[in-house]
Chains A and B, each alone.
Chain A
């Protein structure tokens, strides 16, 4: 291997998508336009929960310009017209019931969206409204209405040591995940046991590119699908199952994706568009509005009951947790989120006993699913708030409390797990220095405005479970490099980072690498672009593919030069042997003929399964987000101003420093807005702020005056050059760091998000009153 300084790694040069994105030429699914393409729109339920008595779409079918109408009458002919991850409970269009306001009842494909909307207005639906379920804690009461009277088809995956799952453990709960380790009597030996309850709000991803696809099933035995979906191979599998088609009849193509944050994860627009395309015999574009996005996928609101046993000196001993996730009306990714929330609730600390039950509670609200943090945001909020609360109860500084209990570098999180791959104390100390936490006693108040600081450490396992990844690197006669792998570019910079790895291994400039379009017909298999896995999982496959291509090139040259390959090096498309340089192009044409040749290397990666690991495979890497905040709390108005926010993640090795920084800062701002104001507001089963004007996302002027991030490079990651994944960690510590800072400033503890002026004032009043 070359000892030369790295030419592509750690350099902040332009991302490979920069030119296309700043010039407007980048192609997204919204830009795909096929000859004869129709436009789809859907009719949505105005009821939170109702039986469908009748649907009369005859007037819509007769309207000029309408080419297909999809109701339960048509989906009855589809082999398996339901979808979901572990549980197949979401129908393409409603059959017997609607289960949330916004549930799809019918769909129309027409010459244009206006015609489709007029046709939808002509569909008559008779509903028989049912009582709604919206309260997480009362959903399992015997008198609560049931969303599903009959069990949908579902599976419980195989789990390892200490973990278990169950379908429908109780009324309106579609899934339970449980985990336990350590002696059951550990609470008995604790000096103190503290029980606290935390409430977590619900956000929408608010990706700017809407949910969109263009589906062409005009030929009976061939589906071509362009979609804004981050998991094209799982989507292909699901479509094959739903419609009873072979996977080699289905091509899923993923252009640039305009943001997702977890939402663009499975069947969303695609089944409706495909069914309409088959009926109409023409391609169909189905693009949701941003308002419809709110009705399609959301984060999980949650109630987290955390009971922690501790010794007088602050040593953690045991934690028992019960988590209720508001899963909405369909299971979507909820069972997977439950696994992760249930697994992550201990945080990055050492215990003798861990015991967790996490329930997916069905309510008559929009389906919840994957969202940046994937359960870890909920658990970090609860865990990092409670660590501070316990520290104060014991009279210990929250910093010392954390430091005492953090898992050591290399120490397994729980039995059977992989070792911690970041020095957690080093990250915490970095926050303490950058924030000036030691000097917080000297913070000056300003009349009714009081100041304080708080710390938090967000924690999740990264890289996903059961993620096989295959990559292919081709190098042409002229040294032009083709990278083929299934990682979608959703904004995270993965195409840039993976291309840099390939270029580095082949001794080339990154500009020589072209990242080939993601198309399931040609792209090697991949489980999906999720779980911060691009560099940590696919990165390993890509690295091996590049090294395989390099080995082939060196072997070829060794044959031509009649010497051992070990004597050769590759740089700038020349073979270097000592002081000699042999250009490859003529060497290749001399051997293969004038057209030349392509060297092809493949690389595969999958974490080994292990029954000793609770989730059946040891964690790929640990994604840690350390954070600290300084707040000013106005005790007269309750307004919390975050004056300083500092976050830091450990990239292991930053393949592209600006990309890493953007991931941490974008995630941190999402955490800040959830902490202070951003949330979906439901009135019963009705979402009251599901649009861009009333749903408040952060703007540039919401940035704290002092907002900074540092990308650590501790070097312990499993990815190429020691890299770890990024993108979720920066969000995890922010809300609890701010809540902890509020407590530091004014001595009140708020356990429910957002940390609104109303809640702060109420807490202050309660403190004064008590």
Chain B
């Protein structure tokens, strides 16, 4: 059985800013650890081949396809998932922009798209059109035709710049 073949070992990292001490196996994907163990189910698995980006989380600020990252790789890292973006029940500016622009339909890619946008805007608060398209092209949305997502990213950048200290 899995436990006999693949003994558990300790793992520590920060998740949405809070320390996590847990145990995992060498075969566990980060997505499974987050979904089954500690984070909540907002991280969605779709292609499980690191192509579609639905399962995107931020590891030390870098968007990663959590289906294809081993859990042990995040030892000592800061992991950010969709559940950690709200602040006291308030949506982040990026989340609010996606909500207000109807930049989602079925919602299965949405967490990944939002985290991707968070990472983009952390690097470049005023991305040009080419940069936005380039970044959003790393994830797949089958529903929207992308236009509303691109508008949400532009809107999110505006909101973040306006509220920046």
Give the B-binding residues of A (Cβ under 8 A).
Answer: 12, 14-15, 17-28, 30-31, 64-65, 111-112, 114-115, 205-210, 256-259, 261, 289-290, 490-493, 656, 658-659, 661-662, 664-670, 691-693, 697-701, 703, 707
Contact = CB atoms under 8 A, between A and B. Distances in A.
A665 B145 contact: yes
A24 B82 contact: yes
B148 A692 contact: no
Ranked 7 nearest A-B pairs via Cβ = A24-B42, A491-B106, A665-B145, A258-B108, A491-B105, A21-B107, A24-B82
Nearest to B27: A114
B114 A207 contact: no
B86 interface: yes
Contacts of B157: none
Contact of B145 (A17, A115, A490, A662): A662
A262 to B, nearest CB: 12
Interface string B80-107: 0111011000010001101111101111
B74 interface: no
Contact of B107 (A12, A17, A206): A17
B1 A700 contact: no
Nearest to A694: B51
Contacts of B52: 208, 290, 692
Nearest to A290: B47
Interface string B35-48: 00000111111111
B148 A23 contact: no
B46 A208 contact: yes
A398 B25 CA distance: 64
Given A206-B142, A290-B47, A703-B133, A24 B41 contact: yes
Given A24-B111, A656-B102, 14 more contacts: A23-B91, A25-B40, A28-B108, A65-B1, A112-B2, A208-B44, A208-B108, A210-B46, A289-B48, A662-B145, A665-B144, A691-B49, A700-B133, A703-B147
With most chain B CB atoms within 10 A of its CB, the pick from A205, A290, A491, A662 is: A662
A231 B144 CA distance: 22
B153 to A, nearest CB: 10
A207 B134 CA distance: 22
B110 interface: yes
A352 to B, nearest CB: 39
A294 to B, nearest CB: 11
Name the interface size band of chain B: 35 or more
A24 B41 CA distance: 7
Contact of B114 (A22, A112, A661): A22
Given A28-B108, A208-B140, A692-B51, A669 B145 contact: yes
A28 B144 CA distance: 19
Contacts of A691: 47, 49
A22 B149 contact: no
Contacts of B96: 22
A23 B42 contact: yes
B104 A21 contact: yes
A256 B107 contact: yes
A18 B106 contact: no
B145 A666 contact: yes
A658 B148 contact: yes
Interface in B1-17: 1-2
B143 interface: yes
Contacts of A23: 42, 82-83, 85-86, 91, 95
Contacts of B107: 17, 20-21, 26, 256, 258, 491
Nearest to B47: A692
Contacts of B143: 259, 491, 662, 666
Contacts of B150: 700, 703
A206 B133 CA distance: 21
6 contacts: A20-B107, A23-B85, A207-B106, A208-B54, A658-B102, A703-B146
B90 to A, nearest CB: 11
B48 A290 contact: yes
Interface string B46-63: 111101101000000000
Contacts of A207: 106, 108, 142
Nearest to B54: A208
B104 A208 contact: no
A600 to B, nearest CB: 31
Contacts of A698: 146
B121 interface: no
B136 interface: yes
B106 A259 contact: yes
A502 B54 CA distance: 33
A700 B46 contact: no
Nearest to A32: B41
B109 interface: yes
Nearest to A691: B49
Given A12-B102, A24-B43, A112-B2, A665 B137 contact: no
Contacts of B105: 259, 491-493, 662, 666
Nearest to B1: A65
Nearest to A287: B45
A712 B124 CA distance: 37
A18 B99 contact: yes
Given A208-B109, A703-B133, A668 B145 contact: yes
Nearest to B109: A208
Contacts of B144: 662, 665-666
A669 B147 CA distance: 10
A456 B15 CA distance: 51
A692 B133 contact: no
A22 B149 CA distance: 12
Contacts of A28: 44, 108
